[in-house]
Every structure is written in structure tokens, then in C-alpha cells.
């Protein structure tokens, strides 16, 4: 049995019961009525102890007390490594930097945490087909875990979806509808299709149970850094579910008495698409005037989890910050060359945010920082090529190599 007690609306506080297809608050609607899942924490405290955790498998199902499932599958998701990056720390001007490498998840992004929970919930609800509209990692991870579970997946992508991600979707056996229109049109068509055909709609940002999957990264940070907490955790922000989930995971570990420390959250957005950062600082934001960013995974003009994302950072005593696309490309290069990690633009955004926060005196030079590397760089080869430049073309002659090296 899951320990979910109920769901509470972050907007009006209304409480609703756990139900297979519950999504948003009936009173507030899908735009504002984002729900938060609550658990019987007293019961969780009894069984989720350090002793018990020591014997559990190294994947995110180890936190089953805090997941919205009666039975957890055993798919390998989560427990991504945290690596020290001393040379990158030096470059950014901070005493210590650790990177949590989410690119090592099954489909190479952080979204596996959410999608694996989504697919498990769909199976439990008796779904026969799962669908979503997305261009990016949410769709590819959904298709990947649907394949693992043997559940047919239908994905609606907009005309502009990047080729590598479409290839990944097709390889996982999903039916991919490339809608000859915008993302909004693909999203609407997906909703209509789900209503008409009874498919399980894995709405990426508003489904409260998916945030519970993202939360496991916060639970893991608490466990992996148990005796050695970071002062800051840096996270890139699009819809805001990732940072809200990490904040919730860390708080729940405190509530269970498993850790006694707090860490500040640094929310990082691309300057060309920073509605959450602007809301955090009380600045007006004209959605249609936002120029956008090359970091496609966080190129989100209407963040679906704005309230949760702002609150999580505020509650942690943290900050939001904006970085330019140039700074994101530089962070991709530095993360590769100084830490050996290939980050997609949205992942390198967290690293760019650390550099910027140190420069502005938000993060002190003697601080210990953990940055979330949310997705692998192979997801977006065009951006990587822009960041890294071209190889040296030469004829097959040693003197050419020597000439180059002596330059």
C-alpha cells in the first residue's frame, strides 16, 4: 500500500483524494490548481530509516514510502553518481563543486525519474496506451519506460522537434505524430485524442505524481551527502517541477529526521526565457516578448509549476539567477573539458548559474556547491558543435600534425 494520504491544491488549499487519474484542483483549474501529494509521514518514519535503506537496491524505488505507488517496479532509475569537480570549481571561483550526473539515467536525462513513476501509475490504473505531447526529454523518457513496461506510447511532437529526439522516440517503438503546427497545437491534439480514445495522458508538468518522481533526486542528495552537505544546490528551471521536486525531497528527509541540515537552492534560467526568475524577483514579464533560448529543455514561456518553483527556492533561503546563451555554451565547454561530463545546454545552465552567482556575490567563494547535470549532451549535437567548434582538418601527414602543434 502507498502511504499517500491526500493531495492539496497549492493555490487554494483544497484537499482531494488520491485517484488514478487525478491531475489538477477542480476549483482552480489546470492553470493554477497544481496539486501536491501528501504522505503519512509518521508511518514513513517507522520504516524508512538509515538501517533499512542500507539494504535496499541502488535505484530511486528505494524510497518507496515516499512514492505514490502500491508496488514499485525494479527498473533501473536514479541513484546517479555525484562526482567531485575540483578543476571546474577552480574555474568557477568556488571552493568545492560536485556534479550529480543525471545523464546516466536510462534515456540520458533527469526526466526518467518522473516518467518511470508516470508509467508505473498508468499500469496501476489499468491503462492500455500512454500518450503525451512534448518535444524533449519528457517524451523520450516516457517512450523508454513505456517500452520497458510493454505499454504502447503515442507521442505528439510539433513540426520543429529536434531530429535526435525524434529518432530516440522511434527507437523506443513509440508512435510519433509530427503535428504540422506549434507545440500548443500538438498539446491540444494530444488532449483531444486522450479524451476520445481513453489513453492515459501523461501531461508532463501538471501531473502531481510525476513531481513525486522528480523528488527522488532531492531524497538522493540528502542520502548521498548525508554527512557532508552542500551549501547550495544549483538547478536549471523550465516548468519548475524539477527544482520544486528537489526542494520537496530534501524537506521530506528533514521531516523524517534523516538529515538535520538545509541547503539553499539556486534556480537558474536562461536570460531569454526567464519567467520564473522574473516572478521570483517581482518583475513583470511579457510572455510574447521573450526571445527564447538555445537550451530547448528549458525554453518554457508559460511555466506550469511557477508557484511551486518560486516557493521551493524561497523556503530554502535561495535565489534565482539568469544566464545568457553565451554563458551556457561556455559552461558546456568547461564542464566537458574540466570535469569530463558532456552536458546538454539545459544541464550546463546550472553550471553557468554557479559562475554567475559567485561573480555577483550570491555564492561565497568558500562555499560547497552541488550542480545538477540534468541531461546528456548527445541529446543536442547542434548546440554542442556551436559550443565546441570544429576539428582540425589535415591531410594524413606527420608534418601537418607537427606544424599544428608548433603553432
For ligand PLP, the binding residues (CB under 6 A) are 109-111, 136-137, 236-242, 297-298, 344, 346-347, 374-375
242 binds, among Zn ion, ligand PLP, none (CB under 5 to 8 A by kind): ligand PLP
**Interface pick for Zn ion out of 6, 15, 20, 27 (rule CB under 5 A):** 27
Q: Do 3 and 44 form a contact (C-beta atoms < 8 A)?
A: yes
Taking the least distance from each CB to ligand PLP, the nearer of 30 and 152 is 30
Selected from 3, 4, 7, 25, the binder of Zn ion by CB under 5 A is 25
* 28 touches, from Zn ion, ligand PLP, none (C-beta below 5 to 8 Å by class): Zn ion
**Which residue, 166 or 256, has its beta carbon nearer to ligand PLP?**
166
Which strands, in side-by-side order, build the sheet including 200-201? 175-179, 153-158, 130-133, 200-201
CB-facing half-sphere around the CA of 110: CA atoms within 13 A: 31
- Partner touching 137 among ligand PLP, Zn ion, none, CB below 5 to 8 Å by kind: ligand PLP
- Least separation in angstroms between CB 137 and ligand PLP: 4
| Torsions phi, psi for 270 (to 5 deg) | -75, 140
* Least spacing, CB of residue 343 vs ligand PLP, in Å: 8
Q: Which is nearer to ligand PLP, 59 or 242 (CB)?
A: 242
Other CB atoms within 10 Å distance of the CB of residue 277: 24
Cα separation, 112 vs 379, in Å, equals 14
Q: Which of ligand PLP, Zn ion, none is residue 275 near (CB under 5 to 8 Å by kind)?
A: none
Q: C-beta of 68: minimal distance to ligand PLP in Å?
A: 17
CA–CA dist 211, 145 (Å, integer):
16
* Least distance between ligand PLP and beta carbon 350 (Å): 8
Residue 263's binding partner, choosing from ligand PLP, Zn ion, none, with beta-carbon cut-off 5 to 8 A by kind? none
Per CB under 5 A, 22 contacts Zn ion: no
Distance CA 367, CA 349 (A): 19
301, 278 Cβ separation under 8 angstroms:
no
Smallest gap, in angstroms, from Cβ of residue 208 to Zn ion? 12
Q: Is 28 in the site for Zn ion (CB under 5 A)?
A: yes
Residue 11 interaction partner, one of ligand PLP, Zn ion, none, beta carbon < 5-8 Å per kind: Zn ion
Closest CA to 199 of 290, 271, 132, 147: 132
Q: How far is CA 382 from CA 360, 386, 389, in A?
A: 31, 6, 10
Stretch that binds Zn ion, among 17-25, 165-173, 297-305, 324-332 (CB under 5 A): 17-25
33 touches Zn ion by CB under 5 A: yes
Indicate the residue among 14 and 45 with the shorter CB distance to Zn ion: 14
Binder of residue 346, out of ligand PLP, Zn ion, none (CB less than 5 to 8 A by kind): ligand PLP
Find which of Zn ion, ligand PLP, none residue 149 binds, CB within 5 to 8 Å per kind: none
Query: How many residues form the binding site for Zn ion (CB under 5 A)?
Result: 8
The yes or no reply on residue 226 touching Zn ion (CB under 5 A) is: no
| Residue of 6, 12, 167, 381 that binds Zn ion (CB under 5 A) | 12
> Residues in the site for Zn ion, rule: CB under 5 A?
9, 11-12, 14, 25, 27-28, 33
Amino acid at each position: 500500500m502507498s502511504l499517500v494520504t491526500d493531495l492539496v491544491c497549492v493555490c487554494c488549499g483544497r484537499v482531494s483524494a488520491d485517484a488514478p487519474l487525478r491531475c489538477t484542483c477542480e476549483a482552480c483549474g489546470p492553470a493554477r490548481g497544481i496539486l501536491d501529494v501528501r504522505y503519512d509521514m509518521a508511518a514513513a518514519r517507522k520504516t524508512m530509516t538509515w538501517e533499512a535503506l542500507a539494504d535496499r537496491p541502488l535505484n530511486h524505488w528505494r524510497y518507496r514510502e515516499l512514492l505514490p505507488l502500491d508496488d514499485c517496479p525494479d527498473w533501473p532509475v536514479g541513484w546517479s553518481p555525484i562526482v567531485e569537480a575540483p578543476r571546474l570549481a577552480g574555474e568557477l571561483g568556488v571552493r568545492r563543486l560536485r556534479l550529480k550526473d543525471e545523464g546516466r539515467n536510462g534515456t540520458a536525462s533527469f526526466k526518467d525519474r518522473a516518467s518511470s513513476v508516470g508509467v508505473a501509475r498508468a499500469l496501476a490504473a489499468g491503462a492500455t496506451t500512454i500518450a503525451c505531447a512534448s518535444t524533449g526529454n519528457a517524451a523520450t523518457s516516457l517512450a523508454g519506460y513505456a517500452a520497458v513496461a510493454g505499454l504502447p506510447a503515442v507521442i505528439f511532437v510539433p513540426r520543429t522537434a529536434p531530429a535526435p529526439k525524434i529518432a530516440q522516440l522511434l527507437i523506443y517503438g513509440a508512435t510519433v505524430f509530427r503535428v504540422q503546427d506549434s507545440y500548443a497545437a500538438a498539446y491540444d491534439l494530444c488532449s483531444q485524442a486522450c479524451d476520445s480514445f481513453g489513453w492515459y495522458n501523461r501531461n508532463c508538468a501538471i501531473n502531481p505524481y510525476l513531481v513525486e518522481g522528480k523528488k527522488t533526486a532531492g531524497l538522493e542528495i540528502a542520502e548521498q551527502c548525508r554527512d557532508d552537505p552542500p551549501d547550495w544546490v544549483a538547478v536549471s528551471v523550465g516548468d519548475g517541477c524539477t527544482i520544486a521536486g528537489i526542494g520537496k525531497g530534501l524537506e521530506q528527509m528533514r521531516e523524517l529526521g534523516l538529515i538535520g541540515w538545509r541547503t539553499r537552492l539556486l534556480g537558474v534560467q536562461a536570460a531569454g526565457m526567464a519567467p520564473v526568475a522574473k516572478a521570483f524577483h517581482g518583475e513583470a514579464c511579457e510572455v510574447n516578448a521573450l526571445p527564447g533560448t538555445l537550451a530547448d529543455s528549458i525554453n518554457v514561456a508559460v511555466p506550469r509549476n511557477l508557484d511551486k518553483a518560486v516557493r521551493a527556492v524561497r523556503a530554502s533561503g535561495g535565489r534565482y539567477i539568469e544566464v545568457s546563451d553565451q554563458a551556457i555554451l561556455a559552461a558546456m565547454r568547461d564542464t566537458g573539458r574540466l570535469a569530463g561530463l558532456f552536458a546538454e545546454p539545459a544541464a550546463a545552465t546550472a553550471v553557468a548559474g554557479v559562475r554567475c552567482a559567485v561573480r555577483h556575490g550570491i555564492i561565497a567563494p568558500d562555499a560547497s556547491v552541488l550542480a545538477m547535470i540534468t541531461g546528456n549532451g548527445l541529446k543536442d549535437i547542434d548546440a554542442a558543435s556551436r559550443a565546441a567548434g570544429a576539428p582540425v582538418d589535415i591531410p594524413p601527414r606527420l608534418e601537418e600534425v607537427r606544424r599544428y602543434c608548433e603553432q
